[in-house]
A = this chain, B = another copy of it.
């Protein structure tokens, strides 16, 4: 297989190189044709690299970036003043075809702004979207978008989300004719606001999308659909509220476990089980998220991700390169637009 090169933002995320280096090492061991371009401060990266085996050293290139984007930095500030940052560099490398894809665990807003600015959207796509995999009952998974890349999305943009989600479900999750649903306040046709109703019409009219209708909030985890589309305002609040709810449940379980010696023992034994569920229920943290619709592959690992979660993000980037996701989205949107005329 031909060489596959990923650019990594070494300074992104709360734990930076501390979790990224081990993840990168594991990825290199698992994927023989993989190469990395590490973007970050040269001294720090050189020191780590000098301790690695020669065959590993040969598969990592270092790109010195004196700047870093802070986790709480305003996206506009980062876009204007951080042209030599590790986050900006990984995007430049993808744009210049020096890397096939990039991964960052940094400031989501800044990454969105920079990626949109540097890579631009694919033809036929107005706005990029942030997408993640949400676990469902029976070990299922559903692609959920937009997580907040855009907070104002008209029906045309929501329709494009459906196309993009459909491509990921088909080519990454290997689902034939993935079922696409719109998130709404009811399942009847008359329900919802104008934006949702207009999108439903566009989706119903398209033979290229397997549109199954509306789903409600309680259907998200029920495996009714393979792709669920909503605007970034709703998507962002929903996903963050799940994180809040899971944290709350964990706290309640801890509190309940203090009642007596029996509940203490039960809680002690039950807790690892919870942590597993807990991790799965913070989908963007566990699975990372992808920025799709751009002329390039950008995978976002959660800022607070573990080394394991960062490795997951690297694997996701590899899969998207191998499945040529941007080309597939371009083809699908072209087919859909052709069909309309």
A218 at the interface (CB under 8 A from B): yes
A-B contact pairs, 16 of them (CB 8 A): A74-B190, A137-B251, A152-B193, A217-B238, A217-B243, A217-B244, A218-B241, A220-B244, A220-B245, A221-B241, A238-B238, A248-B281, A252-B280, A253-B273, A256-B277, A266-B269
Give every chain B residue within 8 A of A240 (Cβ-Cβ): 216-218
Chain A facing B: main interface SS: helix
Roughly how many angstroms separate A337 CA and B320 CA in the complex, as a whole number? 55
A198 at the interface (CB under 8 A from B): no
A:228-242 near B, CB below 8 Å:
230, 232-234, 236-242
A335 at the interface (CB under 8 A from B): no
Q: What's the minimum C-beta distance from A326 to chain B, rounded to whole angstroms?
A: 26
A281-B245 in contact (CB<8A):
yes
Q: What's the minimum C-beta distance from A240 to chain B, rounded to whole angstroms?
A: 3
A185 at the interface (CB under 8 A from B): yes
Q: What's the minimum C-beta distance from A28 to chain B, rounded to whole angstroms?
A: 34
A217-B193 in contact (CB<8A):
no
Q: A74-B188, A184-B237, A216-B240 are in contact. List 17 more A-B contacts (CB 8 A).
A: A74-B190, A137-B251, A151-B192, A185-B232, A192-B233, A193-B233, A217-B241, A217-B244, A218-B247, A220-B241, A221-B241, A230-B237, A234-B234, A237-B238, A246-B249, A248-B281, A252-B280
B277-A249 in contact (CB<8A):
yes
